[in-house]
Structure 1
Amino acid sequence: MSSGLSDQEINEFLKDHGAELGHLDAVVVDLNGIVRGKRYPMDQAAKLLSEGMNYPTAAFTLDVTGDCADPLGNGFSDGDPDGVALPVPGTLGVLDGAHGRSGMVLMTSFHRDGRVNRLEPRQVAAGALEKFTEKTGMTPMVAFELEFFLFDEERDAEGMPHLPDIPGGAGRKWLPQVYDIMELDRYQPFFSDLYRSCEGMGIPATVTICEFAPGQFEVNLAHHADALVAADQCSLFRHLVKMVARKHGLQASFLSKPFIDQIGSGMHLHISLPDGQGRNLFDPSAFPETAKASLAHAAGGLLDTMADGMGIFAPNLNAFRRFQPNATAPVGRSWGHNNRSVAVRVPLCEDSSMRLEHRVAGADANPYMVLAAVLAGIDYGLAHQCDPGVPVTGNAGEATDTGLPLNWRDALEILGQSTVMKEYLGADYLPVYCAIKEAEREKFMATISRQEIDWYL
């Protein structure tokens, strides 16, 4: 197998950056969205970029703690064999980390015989995207929005995160400053380096805002005509945020709900459906007789399959704490126009860019898995002409939906039984995903918390 990079791309990168970089990180994204991989000295970069690297195929079955529970015989049972990981075109770049400038390239996994490694979430998403295009004739255009917190690297006396006491700030006061430009200005050194690293990695970071919780921000990524590339960029963006934060003595966190009394962090996915001629299926000027119905059917499919996908949208116990009434996170199967309280929103936009915004996933969800689940829902809605009901015009977040599994155990059980998700994630992969997450849940529940001691001792 040969690299996905051209000789020209490799040679130009090494000519432009080889002398200035301390190392080159070859990275993959695991089931939990964690960036893992190998660090190469620059004198081995040419070989890596042209030939790839050995990498265990079962490394994608690690849980969030880095443990492999050998799910369904993937891991030690099969000898933990190496596959090969090859560079993904368009992902080779440079960034400014805590220890200076370095290079990074995203890799994707194959078996030694050339078969794609279906344990890799990126390959799962690639398969889902291919299936979606084959069935619908549409090539999704996607953009991600990500919310995150910036904390001090040091924890407080109780071991909890707290805001940094940055120059020009007002100390560690827990005051929300949504849309506050002065608050952005206080963090500008961090954001300047972040945007510089995004540019160096080809990640189209655009608008930044202060969010509702103190120390919380949102960055939008530009729409991309290749949905898999959009998921690549989202995955690498989270890694860049964490690396640049460390450079500034900060800790960045995409945890869905760091504080029970503050707003949580979400991952919003915007999606439109261009056909082979570039016409958006949801555009009433391009499809005057069907666009409105197509938009509604797609929304209906997302709502009808939302329960199936909750084990993906909320990938850990903490993620379910985000779903509280009147806390900006959707708590029911609802949709509406220009309404941020719903699960599936139709944003204000021109007809040509008419789209749906999926607002359910936590910021710590795996972008590849979220993309695959959203594609599954939209396909289901279009194929079955699902009715989403009347668009909500008021507050859809006042009461939780009893039809949604808003706890980890039930969500994993429903996900594992879902025929819709099995079709898009793969009949072989879905049981592996659920087994890994169920083992993680059981391991988490086997620990004794400080609160249990305080309450019940």
Structure 2
Amino acid sequence: MEKLKSLLSGVDSTKIFFTDLNGRTRGVSINPENIEKITENGIGFDGSSIDGITTVDDSDRLLFPVEHSLRIVEFDEKRLGFFIGRIDSEKGKSSYSDPRAVLVNVIDTAEREFGLRFLAGPEYEFFILKGDEFPEARHTDRAGYFSSDPNDRGDVVRETIVDILRKCGITFEKNHHEVTSSQHEINFECASPLEAADQTLLFMHVARKVAAANGFFATFMPKPFNGQNRSAFHIHLSMQDLHGNNMFYDESKKNGLSDAARFFTGGILRYARETSIVMASTYNSYKAYTIDREAPIARGWGLRNRSSMIRVPYASDPSATRIELRSPDPSGNVYLQMAVFIAMGLQGLRDSIDPGEPDTGNVYKKNTYSRIKDSRLLPRSMFEALAEAENSEFLRGVLGEGLFKSYMELKTTEWESFRTAVTTLEHTAYLSI
């Protein structure tokens, strides 16, 4: 506690951040002089005013700072003490609706039941735009993949983001301009799934703040523009035993992939449809599942194949053998996305699920997908994703009954609001009738 007090003594402000069920960041400023009392007793808040947390008849919740999550973040000579928070329904009793607690439970299950731990390497794609309202939300550049224009103002924003994060202990592997105008990607070094999820909250906070300081707007909306690529949230995952040995690699097996790697992959493929509403959680998400727009449309896995839902990247070192899940986008709740990703794989291990042969060639062009409902594909609408999730005992088991019910109600309401809204496109197509 004394070390914590010492670290906070030099900050200008201190905040505790957490997510609502949608994955949107929420936060509260605290007096750092009261940190000992706050870590002991928490801060009371109205959970019914935050999407998916609880109902008005049981609204009281406690927010506790996770002590080891503290990072000192420097913005323009201002120092922010940044905590991740956990939600309790009562002191010492985790709230069923805390998304972070779901991930903690899955990680504990992996270690207790299988003796396994994981490393996650997240890749974040996002747009840096001129504003946050259309049509003013225009591109800041006309650059493309790996563009290196010294006049690119978005590049300055991106480099500032990684520099601020580096100074508070979050290091990146690479960052670059993406394929689409104004689109950027930052890949962070691998960490435990919980730490990677916690870092996501800080990354998004820093990205938005730096963009705003430069007169721009950073958005993680999956697909803001017609006819252009979406922003994805790719997750690289490796699996280790308790001694740190990579459990996805087996030199004696085809392609160097262990049986555990295949079964883990098989579980993800089997449950991909019924968990899609977590991986791609908004109405806008499903406008991205389009052929040749770098979003996976079919369930499958491939070696080095970026048109596959699951890619096994080339690894020059066996210890780096991993899988990459390419279906999620950054609009979802990162804690639930990480939890469901791992839980699908663990179920594959339990049931020894064979993933079949790897994809070959361009998956986008290999088949003609013409049926309205095609089980080979990921859901192509939010309604289809909700229908798959509604009957999923697997997803219900991972999230827990209470959170599952709250999440489905939240997402069904979202779908209904978009389903009944009349759009400009409809006016153009039908007003002349």
TM-score by length of 1: 0.86
The match for 1:439 is 413
Correspondence for 2:374 among 402, 405, 430? 402
The match for 1:121 is 99
User: Any conservation in 2 of the 1:95–1:201 contact (CA below 8 Å)?
Assistant: yes
Q: CA deviation at 1:453?
A: 3.0
Correspondence for 1:303 among 269, 275, 279? 269
Q: CA deviation at 1:204?
A: 2.6
Distance 1:213 1:85 in 2: 39
Secondary structure at 1:187 match in 2: helix
Q: Which amino acid aligns with 1:140?
A: F
Classify 1:194/1:100 alpha carbon distance in 2 versus 1 (closer, same or farther; 3 Å): same
Secondary structure at 1:111 match in 2: strand
Correspondence for 1:277 among 233, 236, 243? 243
User: Any conservation in 2 of the 1:97–1:247 contact (CA below 8 Å)?
Assistant: no
Correspondence for 1:220 among 170, 183, 187? 187
Classify 1:200/1:34 alpha carbon distance in 2 versus 1 (closer, same or farther; 3 Å): farther
The match for 1:163 is 139
Which string of whole-angstrom CA distances, capped at 9 and with x for unpartnered residues, describes residues 270-324 of structure 1? 1111111111111225999995222121111111111011111111110001100
Distance 1:205 1:60 in 2: 32
Secondary structure at 2:69 match in 1: coil
Which string of whole-angstrom CA distances, capped at 9 and with x for unpartnered residues, describes residues 315-374 of structure 1? 111000110011111000111111111000001112112111010001212111111111
Equivalent residues in 2 for 1:12-411, closer than 5 Å: 12-15=6-9, 17-18=10-11, 21=12, 23-40=13-30, 47-48=37-38, 51-62=41-52, 74-78=54-58, 80-81=59-60, 83-97=61-75, 100-153=78-131, 155=133, 159=135, 161-164=137-140, 175-182=142-149, 186-224=153-191, 226-284=192-250, 291-349=257-315, 350-398=317-365, 399-400=368-369, 402-403=374-375, 404-411=378-385
Moved more, 188-197 or 382-391: 188-197
Distance 1:292 1:325 in 2: 31
Classify 1:76/1:177 alpha carbon distance in 2 versus 1 (closer, same or farther; 3 Å): same
Distance 2:179 2:150 in 1: 12
The match for 1:3 is none
User: Any conservation in 1 of the 2:17–2:201 contact (CA below 8 Å)?
Assistant: no
Q: Which amino acid aligns with 2:381?
A: N
User: Any conservation in 2 of the 1:177–1:183 contact (CA below 8 Å)?
Assistant: no
Q: Does 1:450 align with 2:430?
A: no
User: Any conservation in 2 of the 1:320–1:406 contact (CA below 8 Å)?
Assistant: yes
Q: Which amino acid aligns with 1:416?
A: E
Q: CA deviation at 1:196?
A: 3.2
Which string of whole-angstrom CA distances, capped at 9 and with x for unpartnered residues, describes residues 33-92 of structure 1? 211121235555565456532233445534xxxxx8xxxxx31133x22x2211123322
Q: CA deviation at 1:132?
A: 2.6
Classify 1:285/1:88 alpha carbon distance in 2 versus 1 (closer, same or farther; 3 Å): farther
Secondary structure at 1:364 match in 2: coil
Q: Which amino acid aligns with 1:152?
A: K
User: Any conservation in 2 of the 1:98–1:248 contact (CA below 8 Å)?
Assistant: no
User: Any conservation in 2 of the 1:98–1:243 contact (CA below 8 Å)?
Assistant: no
Distance 2:40 2:152 in 1: 42
Secondary structure at 1:397 match in 2: helix
Q: CA deviation at 1:114?
A: 1.5
Secondary structure at 1:193 match in 2: helix
Q: CA deviation at 1:438?
A: 0.5
Q: CA deviation at 1:258?
A: 0.7
Secondary structure at 2:208 match in 1: helix
Q: CA deviation at 1:420?
A: 1.6
User: Any conservation in 2 of the 1:184–1:210 contact (CA below 8 Å)?
Assistant: no
Distance 2:255 2:430 in 1: 63
Q: Which amino acid aligns with 1:141?
A: L
Distance 1:259 1:396 in 2: 23
RMSD: 2.5
Q: CA deviation at 1:144?
A: 0.9
| Percent of aligned pairs sharing the same letter | 25
User: Any conservation in 1 of the 2:126–2:185 contact (CA below 8 Å)?
Assistant: yes
Which string of whole-angstrom CA distances, capped at 9 and with x for unpartnered residues, describes residues 216-236 of structure 1? 111011111x22111111232
Secondary structure at 2:57 match in 1: coil
Q: CA deviation at 1:201?
A: 3.9
TM-score by length of 2: 0.90
User: Any conservation in 1 of the 2:117–2:241 contact (CA below 8 Å)?
Assistant: yes
Unaligned ranges ≥5, structure 1: 1-6, 63-67, 69-73, 165-171
Secondary structure at 2:314 match in 1: coil
Q: Which amino acid aligns with 2:139?
A: L
Classify 1:183/1:137 alpha carbon distance in 2 versus 1 (closer, same or farther; 3 Å): farther
Distance 2:179 2:293 in 1: 10
User: Any conservation in 2 of the 1:267–1:361 contact (CA below 8 Å)?
Assistant: yes
